[in-house]
Structure 1
Amino acid sequence: MEVLVAAYNVSSVPKMLELAKVTYGFGLKRFILIKVFGAAAQQIGDLFKLAFKMGGEVLVFNDIADAVDILKPDIIYALGRPDRDTKPIEKVDGKIMLLVHGADLSFSPRELPPGAIMSHAVAKDIGSTGQLAIALYRLLGA
Structure 2
Amino acid sequence: MDCQQLMNNVIPVIHNPTSVQKLLDAVKVSLGFGVKTIVVTKAVGTAAQQGIPEAFRLVLKSGASLIVLPDLKDTVELLRPEAVYFLGTRGDSMGEVGGRVLFVVHASDQQFMPSEVSLGRLVRVLGRDVGSTALLTLALNRVLGSCVD
Q: How many Å separate the matches in 1 of 2:37 and 2:133?
A: 16
The alignment's C-alpha RMSD in Å is 1.3
Instruction: Find out whether 1:134 has 2:138 as its counterpart.
Output: yes
Count of matched residue pairs:
138
Deviation at 1:57, TM superposition (A): 1.7
SS in 1 for 2:57: helix
The match for 1:97 is 102
The percentage of aligned residue pairs carrying the same residue is 36
The match for 2:3 is none
Deviation at 1:55, TM superposition (A): 2.2
SS in 2 for 1:139: helix
Gapped regions of structure 1 (runs ≥ 5):
none
Q: Which has the higher helix share?
A: 2
The match for 2:35 is 28
SS in 2 for 1:59: strand
Q: How many Å separate the matches in 1 of 2:143 and 2:73?
A: 24
Deviation at 1:92, TM superposition (A): 2.6
- 1:59-105 residue CA offsets vs partner (Å, 9 max, x unmatched): 0111111111110011111012x23xx12222232111101101011
The match for 2:123 is 119
Deviation at 1:139, TM superposition (A): 1.0
Among residues 44, 49, 58, which one is paired with 1:42 in the alignment? Answer: 49
Deviation at 1:36, TM superposition (A): 0.7
Gapped regions of structure 2 (runs ≥ 5):
1-5
Among residues 84, 91, 111, which one is paired with 1:76 in the alignment? Answer: 84
Q: How many Å separate the matches in 2 of 1:92 and 1:54?
A: 24
Deviation at 1:106, TM superposition (A): 1.5
For 1:126, the aligned partner's letter is V
The TM-score, its normalising length taken from structure 2, stands at 0.86
Q: How many Å separate the matches in 1 of 2:39 and 2:92?
A: 23
Q: How many Å separate the matches in 1 of 2:95 and 2:141?
A: 11
Deviation at 1:49, TM superposition (A): 1.1
Deviation at 1:48, TM superposition (A): 1.0
The TM-score, its normalising length taken from structure 1, stands at 0.90
Deviation at 1:123, TM superposition (A): 2.1
Q: How many Å separate the matches in 1 of 2:121 and 2:107?
A: 17
Q: How many Å separate the matches in 2 of 1:95 and 1:52?
A: 22
The match for 2:21 is 14
- 1:93-142 residue CA offsets vs partner (Å, 9 max, x unmatched): 2111101101011212122343x111122222111111100101111124
